[in-house]
Chains A and B, each alone.
Chain A
Amino acid sequence: MNILVCLKQIPDPEIPARDFRIADIGSANLVSDIFGENALETALQFGGKITVLSFGAPSAEDTLRKALAMKADAAALVINDTNPNPDPLAVAQVLAAAVRKLGGFDLILTGRESGDWGAGQTGSLLAEELGLPCVSFVDSIEGREGGVRLRRQTESGFEVIEASTPVVLTITNDEHNVPRIPKVRDVMAAHRQPLTTFTLADLGVDVSNRWYEVIEMSIPTKETACEFLTVEELAQRLLEVTAGA
Chain B
Amino acid sequence: MNDVVIVLFGNDRAAEGLAGAAQRLGGTVRAIRVEEYQPEECLTALAEECKGARAILFSNDTYSQEVAPRLAHRLGGSCVGDGIDVQFVDGRLRVTRQVYGGKAEAVIALKRTPGVAWLRARSFAPGNAGVPPAGPPPSRRRDAAEPAGEDAGAPKTRIVERTASQSEARLEDARVIVSGGRGIGGPEGFAQELQPLAQLLGAQMAASRAACDAGWVPPTWQVGQTGKKVAPDLYLAIGITGASQHMAGISEAKQIAAINIDRDAPIFKHCRFGIVEDYRKVVPLLRQKLSELQR
Q: Which residues of A contact B (CB under 8 A)?
A: 11, 13-18, 20, 22, 25, 35, 88-89, 112-113, 115-121, 124-125, 127-129, 133-137, 139, 152-164, 167, 172-176, 178, 209-220, 222-224, 226-232, 234-239, 241-242, 244-245
User: Contact between A153 and B101 (Cβ–Cβ < 8 Å)?
Assistant: no
Measured CB to CB, the closest approach of chain A to B135, in angstroms, equals 25
Would you call B80 and A212 a contact (CB within 8 A)? Answer: yes
Dominant secondary structure of chain A at its interface with chain B: mixed
What are 19 A-to-B residue pairs whose CB atoms are below 8 Å? Answer: A11-B100, A17-B102, A17-B247, A20-B100, A134-B66, A158-B162, A163-B156, A163-B157, A173-B209, A175-B219, A178-B213, A211-B79, A215-B106, A219-B105, A226-B274, A227-B272, A231-B286, A238-B257, A238-B286
Which of A17, A159, A163 sits near B103, CB closer than 8 Å?
A17
Nearest 3 Cβ contacts at the A-B interface: A175-B215, A235-B289, A157-B165
Give the size category of B's interface with A.
35 or more
Q: In the complex, which residue of chain B has the Cβ closest to the Cβ of A218?
A: B105
- Residue B16 CB within 8 A of the other chain: no
A residues less than 8 Å from B226 (CB atoms): 35, 112-113, 172-173
Q: How far is the CB of A166 from chain B (nearest CB, A)?
A: 9
Closest partner residue, chain B, to A231 (CB atom): B285
- Give A22 to B99 CA distance when docked, in angstroms: 11
State whether A227 touches B202 (Cβ < 8 A).
no
B140 adjacent to chain A (CB < 8 Å): no
Q: Which residues of A contact B65 (CB under 8 A)?
A: 120, 136-137
0/1 interface trace, chain B 46-74, chain A, CB 8 Å (1 if under): 00000000000000011001101110011
* Interface positions of B from 260 to 291, Cβ below 8 Å from A: 266, 268-277, 282, 285-286, 289-290
With A136-B62, A136-B65, A174-B213 in contact, do A155 and B107 touch (Cβ < 8 Å)?
no
Contact between A175 and B66, CB atoms less than 8 A apart: no
CA distance A120 to B64 in the complex (A): 12
| Structural contact, B209 and A219, CB atoms closer than 8 A | no
Shortest distance between the CB of B209 and any CB in chain A (Å): 7
Q: Specify which chain B residues have a CB less than 8 angstroms from the CB of A224 in the assembled complex.
A: 256, 269-272
- CB closest residue in chain B, given A132: B156
In this assembly, does B166 line the interface, its C-beta being within 8 Å of a C-beta of chain A? Answer: yes
Q: Chain B nearest CB: distance from A234 CB in Å?
A: 5
Tell me if B164 is interfacial: C-beta within 8 Å of chain A. Answer: yes
Cα-based distance from A89 to B154 in the complex (angstroms) = 29
Q: Which residue of A lies closest to B110 (CB)?
A: A212
A230 x B156 contact (CB < 8 A) = no
* A133 & B40 in contact (Cβ 8 Å cutoff): yes
Give the complex CA separation of A234 and B289 in angstroms: 9
Q: Does B109 contact A (CB under 8 A)?
A: yes
B60-117 with Cβ < 8 A to chain A: 61-62, 65-66, 68-70, 73-74, 78-82, 94, 98-112
